[in-house]
Amino acid sequence: MSAEQPKIQLCLAFDGPEGDEVRPGTMGGIEAPTTTRATDRPASAALMEEVCDRENLKRALQRVKSNKGSAGVDGMTVDELPAYLKAHWPAIRSQLLSGTYQPQPVRRVEIPKPDGGLRALGIPTVLDRLIQQAVLQVLQRDWDPTFSESSYGFRPGRSAHQTVARAQRYVAAGSAWVVDILRPSEPRPTDGPRGTTGRRSAAASSPARLFERRGDGGGAGESDRRGDTAGRSLVAAASNLVLDVLDRELERRGLRFVRYADDCHIYVRSRRAGQRVMASVTRFLTTRLSLTVTAAKSAVARPWERKLLGLSFTSGPTPKRRVALQAVARMKARVRILTRRTRGVSLDQMVRELATYLTRWRRYFDFCETPMVLQALDSWIQRRLRCAIWKQWKRGPRRFAGLRARGVGRDLAAQTAGSPHGPWHLSLSPALSFAFPSAYFQSLGLPRLAARLTAQLHRTAVCGPACTVV
């Protein structure tokens, strides 16, 4: 595809004057309802006019195309979307402006969880993803500048790493207790508006309500609140608007806190202060925002006893970022699946799949400051791969020949090949460690989790803290 082609497709998708109205009748199976006059529309209709702005939609289409992703229940791919929009956009726009647009059900996919059970993923159609992105862009433009500096989730230019770094500064400054709170349910639908909070809730729900999750197939029309849809950023943006009321209340009280979506950590200097804050904030969420705090997931504890976005801290006067124990456990569970000795795949394929997962994992957790944890994980992963090799070699003669081919001496190779010990025990033996060192697995494309931190420590040792890059 040439560099000019995407631009042509984007222009074709939204041809026509901005104020074009669709003719009565149907277009491509999409009924075109009569558009309500602008003077009769509610305030949310004005917002939808901005959503349907041609330039906003072009940016949204470019973002959906760059994100790619699977097809939804209608089978339409991202590459097919521009041509579909060229034929059907007037009718879709009319439905959006009149409030009659109905999103398609999400396609449900279930994947195994590391700790057992299945996780339900919801994949919207590419058309719904486009409209979700267009709505999100307008909401972020209008709302984001008004949000608290302590709010980080699903905001442009802000990240989970920034959240953890700010929390780390609070802990280092002496806030040795954390109130880990929130993870609330959605506002109860029977609750009426309550002052500013009610107006914000209504404003947040008007565009986002287009995309209430719906199941597919045997559960058509069933709400799938467990599904993780591609519209989660839109839902989070609306959630940020509602929870901004909480942020302002915490700021009014002079509390130190960070919030990422529905995960809020408040930092205080004593357990007693933490218990008071927990009680008062829980009461505020219940009475003002009609949210229910999940008691099982909330606590007043030391910061190093809780996790924040997969990371935690070490104890002591200078807290360092570390990978949370739960995140390590999940990672190991995934690696066990990929390196299972009975998978029946070649070592090259096993390493390729493992490298894809570990590269993504390292991209996030490389933010930690505890290289020994990553070094231990590197060693553990290599042992898993040695076990897989040993299992694939199966019998003594092949194991002996394999070790000899890798440069192991005759006596050591014979002793190891005839050992009664199992693969895990032998994965640390001198023979397998020599035959398959770290450099061998790196040559196959296996990434080292501790590479950056190890290099950073080396630079610090050579030229001091001035050359350290975090």
pLDDT tens-place string over residues 78-136: 999 999 999 999 999 999 998 899 999 888 888 776 556 777 778 889 999 999 999 88
Q: Average pLDDT, stretch 196-200?
A: 39
185: pLDDT strictly greater than 50: no
Cα separation, 451 vs 438, in Å, equals 12
Mean pLDDT of the chain: 80
Q: pLDDT band at 294, cuts 50/70/90?
A: confident
Position 182 scores a pLDDT of: 81
Higher pLDDT pick, 231 / 214 = 231
Query: Where does the pLDDT of residue 343 fall: very low under 50, low under 70, confident under 90, or very high at 90 and above?
Result: confident
Per-residue pLDDT tens digits for 312-322: 999 988 999 99
Asked whether residue 249 carries a pLDDT value surpassing 50, the answer given is yes
pLDDT at 26 > cutoff 50: no
Confidence band for 367, pLDDT divided at 50, 70 and 90: very high
Rounded CA-CA distance 175/243 in Å is 23
Question: Would you state the pLDDT for residue 110?
Answer: 80
Separation of alpha carbons 67 and 233, rounded Å: 13
What pLDDT is attached to residue 225?
34
3-state secondary structure 11-46: HHHCCCCCCCCCCCEEECCEEECCCCCHHHCCHHHH
Judged against a pLDDT cut of 70, whether residue 48 lies above it is answered with: yes
Q: Lowest-pLDDT range, 200-209, 239-248, 421-430?
A: 200-209
Sign for the pseudo-dihedral over CA of 147, 253, 287, 257: positive
First to last CA, the chain: 39
Which of 44-48, 411-415, 456-460 has the lowest average pLDDT?
456-460
pLDDT at residue 296, as a whole number: 86
